[in-house]
Structure 1
């Protein structure tokens, strides 16, 4: 039985492992800058972790949790919660529908349908969409409450404004990244831009548009519940009212209604997206 000797090639170069930090390494400097930013953030926020973990804080938090564990299930109060839940659901649904319509209307000029498309209004349309989505829903609601007054109408319009910017940008990306074969076949035959979009591009991107719209509806359910805190109606308005009065039993019932509503919409959205993806 013979054994073979394995020899290393003469031209093989043995390299040392890289240094942990190298002055010429850009990623090292970026990582260092991020670490400095994180440490300075902790220092500037002045987090009082010791007082948060103190015995008095734990006792107060425990008492608060015990009060929340006794929700109010009285018939009259449950009717109020059900009405506010429907109001929150209607705000989110109508706001999302309006945003999908206007988002698609802005996405068409904000997208470049094919490589030689001049897309003259692309920058302007994208600027409008960026402006709409840069302002949070809560800020839109506070601005619109001045013009439209208290109630769900201002919340619905606030959701529509912000979500139009989000969906418009997503829709524009879908249109730009859609396959161009069918649209090209119609363009070379002299079809108009509307015909090309309606019969070639739109059917291909429709499943993605629906998926994005349903996903934003999920987010708008949560946003609609928050908008009520500033007087835009729905469960959020009830939550702000009863929390201000320190009525924790009623607050607990409202929180349970929010959880059930969000879970139901999430489940409906999930099954809808699964069906459209087939």
Structure 2
């Protein structure tokens, strides 16, 4: 009989450390479940939610919501397209395609871009670009460039180098070998990453309106600040419909790419 595999004490220690971290997290947080589930709290929540019904359905307001919905969709689409272009441009040096010396600064720049949340980017860019969707679009593009650049760089590094090396051996130029051998292998995964980030940017674009970056989020903040709950309910429904539509479209496109 073959000898039993050696025990992995490192894995056991890691699981024990994670369990200890979870226990310590629950112990350190003031979780007041009794107050949260108290009859008074449930009654207050029910009373608050009842103010959202029925949603505002006047034709003029629905047209206003439709315009804000399209603005949110446009913000997410343009921001994602700009991020895909910027991410690919930074992924090349981050993956070592332009020399080993370019890899650390490109990785550091990508870390900075994705470490700053979209809301912070929007707050910074609103000072320069003013209120409206332009600042929100740039904020989405800045943060998503850092995310996609890192993912694109990892995809390029994980590509099997044999095909490109074969073309280089047969006399192909470095750029041609990259475009015809390496990029086609990584492109489906990169497109899948881009579509997934587009889904996330739909939600982020709706939230960015809270700081004045336009779209449905700005409408939601306006009506909530005036306690116009029925109008806010219509905006929330528009957000849900937009997210569901983009999720379904992105899922269909990803399935088509992976076939």
Q: Deviations over 1:195-216 (max 9, x none)?
A: 2211221122211111111111
Question: 1:80 and 2:64 equivalent?
Answer: yes
Q: Which stretch shifts more, 183-192 or 238-247?
A: 183-192
Which of the residues 258, 263, 267 maps onto 2:244?
Answer: 263
Pair 1:41 & 2:21 matched: no
How far did 1:121 drift? 0.7
Alpha-carbon distance in 1 for matches of 2:15, 2:194 = 36
Residues 95, 157 of structure 2: 8 Å contact kept:
yes
Larger radius of gyration: 1
Find the residue that maps to 2:100 and give its secondary structure: coil
Alignment of 1:25-40 (within 5 A): 26-27=10-11, 29-40=13-24
Task: Note the residue ranges of structure 2 that are not aligned, 5 or more in a row.
Answer: 1-6
SS in 1 for 2:138: helix
Q: Supply the distance in 2 between the matched residues of 1:239 and 1:259 (Cα, whole angstroms).
A: 13
The answer for the alignment partner of 1:9 in structure 2 is none
In structure 1, C-alpha distance between the alignment counterparts of 2:150 and 2:178, rounded to whole Å: 17
Match of 2:178 in 1: 197
Paired position in structure 1 for 2:107:
126
Q: Which whole-Å CA distance do the structure 2 matches of 1:243 and 1:143 have between them?
A: 24
2:200 is aligned to 219
Task: Select the residue among 150, 159, 162 that pairs with 2:131.
Answer: 150
CA deviation after TM superposition for structure 1 residue 169, in Å? 0.7
Tell me how far apart the structure 2 counterparts of residues 141 and 259 of structure 1 sit (CA, whole Å). Answer: 22
Residues 96, 102 of structure 2: 8 Å contact kept:
no
CA offsets, 1:171-214, max 9 Å, x none? Answer: 11111111222211221234332222112211222111111111
Relative to structure 1, the CA distance from residue 120 to residue 73 in structure 2 (aligned partners, 3 Å threshold; closer, same or farther) is: same
CA-atom RMSD, angstroms? 2.3
Corresponding residue of 1:89: 73
Extract unaligned runs of 5+ from structure 1. Answer: 1-17, 19-23
Measure, in 1, the Cα distance between the counterparts of 2:20 and 2:158.
Answer: 38
Q: How far apart, CA to CA, are the structure 2 residues paired with 1:26 and 1:266?
A: 39
Number of corresponding residues = 256
The aligned counterpart of 2:92 is 108
1:249-268 Cα distance to aligned partner (Å, 9 max, x none): 11110111001000100111
CA distance in 1, matches of 2:186, 2:14: 38
Distance 1:40 1:50 in 2: 20
Residue range with higher mean Cα deviation, 34-43 or 100-109 = 34-43
1:69 aligns with 2:53: yes
| Structure with a larger share of its residues in helix | 2
Deviation at 1:119, TM superposition (A): 2.6
Measure the CA separation in 2 of the matches of 1:193 and 1:90: 37
The 1-side partners of 2:17 and 2:170 are apart by 56
Work out the CA distance in 2 between the residues paired with 1:166 and 1:25: 34
1:56 aligns with 2:40: yes
